[in-house]
Amino acid sequence: MSVTAMIHDTAALFIITCLSMPYFAFRLGKLTGADAAKLAGKITVYLRIANFVLIISLLTGLMRVGWTFSGWVLMVLAIFLAIAALLGISMKAAKNIGTEAAAERDIAGSVAKFQRVSMLLAAAIIVMVLVKIV
């Protein structure tokens, strides 16, 4: 196994850990005030790291297939872009939750958005894993 393959597999495992985001999203719905702001801050940092890891996964994945663009690679790229977009949207929602919770405002709307997007993110990651396995 090459170094590129090991880096790609490690990055993929890190992204798979984002499957836990719906758990944290629904947990955020039960918290208020400083506790919600603290958890939202930690989630934001985690999602920012996940964005960088996703880029590493893209580059090493393209290096593994030899920079050739078949139908399978284009499908994986489309799912990759969906995951990247959902990570960005969920990070924005988490930032909003942190800001609103710190200001003691109602966070229900932002939490609901974060819950929906985290469920879609988990579904996109599962689809990516299934596409890569099959």
42-80 pLDDT, tens digit per residue, is: 999 999 999 999 999 989 988 888 877 788 888 989 999
pLDDT tens for each residue of 111-131: 999 999 999 999 999 999 999
DSSP 105: -
Q: Which band of pLDDT confidence, cut at 50, 70 and 90, is reported for residue 29?
A: confident
113 and 28 in contact (C-beta within 8 Å)? Answer: no
Q: What is the 3-state secondary structure (H, E, C) of 67-97?
A: CCCCHHHHHHHHHHHHHHHHHHHHHHHHHHH
Residue 89 has pLDDT above 90, yes or no: yes
Q: Can you read off the two tokens belonging to residue 117?
A: 């997007």
Domain containing 123 equals 3-133
Total number of domains constituting the chain: 1
**What CATH number does residue 10 fall under?**
1.20.120
How far is it, in rounded angstroms, from Cα 107 to Cα 103?
Answer: 10
Distance CA 134, CA 131 (A): 5
pTM reported for the whole predicted model = 0.89
